[in-house]
Amino acid sequence: MARSGRRDKRNVGLPPIILSVISAETIHLNLKDNLLHNVIEIYKRCSDK
């Protein structure tokens, strides 16, 4: 409980909606990076053969 209280203080002044949009964007970017990484890995494996 104390830990979440500290997190709320750090994000003071930002509405929860903006925070959830920011985290959703971050997750989306991470997914895109992982997808791109996987495609590159598959391409490397295919060109190695």
Task: Judge contact between 22 and 30, C-beta under 8 A.
Answer: no
Angle (CA) 43-35-38 rounded to 5° is: 35
Distance CA 41, CA 49 (A): 13
Distance CA 38, CA 35 (A): 5
Give the dihedral sign, CA 12/16/22/23: positive
pLDDT tens digits in sequence order for the chain, 49 residues long = 455 555 555 556 778 888 888 898 898 899 999 999 999 999 999 988 6
What is the predicted pLDDT for the residue at 8?
Answer: 55
pTM, whole model, 2 decimals?
0.44
